[in-house]
Amino acid sequence: MKPIIHTTLIEAIKLLIHSDSPRLDAEVLLSHVLGVTRSYLYAWSDKILTPSQNAQFQTLLTRRLQDEPIAYLTGHKEFWSLHLQVTEDTLIPRPDTELLVEQALARLPQDSQEQVIDLGTGSGAIALAIAQERPHCRILATDKSRMALKVAQANAKNLALSQVTFMVSNWWIALGEIKATLIVSNPPYIPKNDPHLIQGGVQYEPRIALIAGADGLVDIRQLIAGAISHLVMGGWLLLEHGYDQAKTVRELFIEYDYESVKTYHDLAGLPRITVGQKHCP
Ligand code: GLN
């Protein structure tokens, strides 16, 4: 029997029983293979798949059954309503990280022309979302991974956000004397033995974007210590961190004399980002 859209989806949904969203997964993967919208699958549900389309779909389905994230299977992810390319060299942007963008925007007036830095930009998600909303800001996005930066640059080009510049840098190393009004980062913050690293698709994401030493704070410490010399007086540092790291991160900010230190909660109600302001004289 020739495979038609409708029955192919039904069979796939049965197999995807352990996914949180079997129907959505099946539809997203099939519409990706066919290069159509999900509504097309309903409008043309009796259309026959070509052998090559069917084979491609079955391959993606097999990968999905091994927990590989949908974003890596389709090669893209929506963040802040931006369509972003992602690869296995970049973390998949999380909806929770939009909180970091919201808090950055709250500190940058609409017509702001300030210098902003996004450290460890990955796919470019945070830098590009800020660029979209604050077109006059100068934004520098860094990453130590050249492969990740290539993805971020391709995203900037596709979105025509040309005010973002990119630089290979391991945190502050290549930044020279540059100073910013706002520095933002979603650094690695997972302890190296955390069981979370081998679950739920996280095992497919780049280790260097996730793991930060035994306590998960190695990079956050470097960022809090180093930002002082790269912020203007009154400038802000905004960091994402683990759900159980807020208190320690606030203590670190205070140890380095930041002011107005505050933690904000994500969509799940978990303390997810902490901010601090470089003191004014
Ligand atoms: N929030 C991500 C997770 O839960 C981790 C992101 C990070 O380490 N920056 O997997």
> Which pLDDT band holds residue 280 (cuts at 50, 70, 90)?
confident
Pick the CATH number of 77-277 from 3.40.50.970, 3.40.50.150, 3.30.1240.10, 2.30.30.30: 3.40.50.150
Which contacts qualify for 254-257: CB closer than 8 Å, 24 or more apart? 256/224, 256/225, 256/228, 257/228
Task: Give the type of residue at 253.
Answer: F
> Which pLDDT band holds residue 32 (cuts at 50, 70, 90)?
very high
Q: Give the atom of ligand 1 at the shortest distance from the alpha carbon of 196.
A: 10
Residue bearing the CA closest to ligand 1, atom 10: 202
CA of 201 to the centre of ligand 1 (A): 12
* Residues 6 or more apart in contact with residue 157 via CB below 8 angstroms: none
pTM: 0.95
The full set of domain ranges for the chain reads: 5-66, 77-277
Q: Is the pLDDT of residue 2 over 90?
A: no
Tokens, residue 257: 């004399």
Q: Is the CB of 186 under 6 A from ligand 1?
A: yes
CATH top-level class of 5-66 = mainly alpha
Question: Is residue 163 a contact partner of residue 135, using CB atoms and an 8 Å limit?
Answer: yes
Length of the chain in terms of residues written: 281
Q: Is the pLDDT of residue 194 over 80?
A: yes
Q: Is the CB of 192 under 6 A from ligand 1?
A: no
Q: Is the pLDDT of residue 281 over 80?
A: no
Q: Is the CB of 223 under 6 A from ligand 1?
A: no
Domains 5-66 and 77-277 share a fold: no
Tokens, residue 141: 């996005």
Q: Is the pLDDT of residue 79 over 80?
A: yes
> Which pLDDT band holds residue 279 (cuts at 50, 70, 90)?
confident
Strands 258-265 and 271-278: antiparallel
Among 3, 74, 1, smallest CA distance to 45 is for 3
Q: What is the pLDDT averaged over residues 145-163?
A: 97
* Residue-averaged pLDDT of the chain: 97
Q: Is the pLDDT of residue 1 over 90?
A: no
Report the share of the chain in percent with pLDDT over 90.
97
Quick count: other Cβ atoms within 10 Å of Cβ 114? Answer: 17
Tokens, residue 275: 């901010």
CA of 275 to the centre of ligand 1 (A): 18
Of 2 and 230, more confident: 230
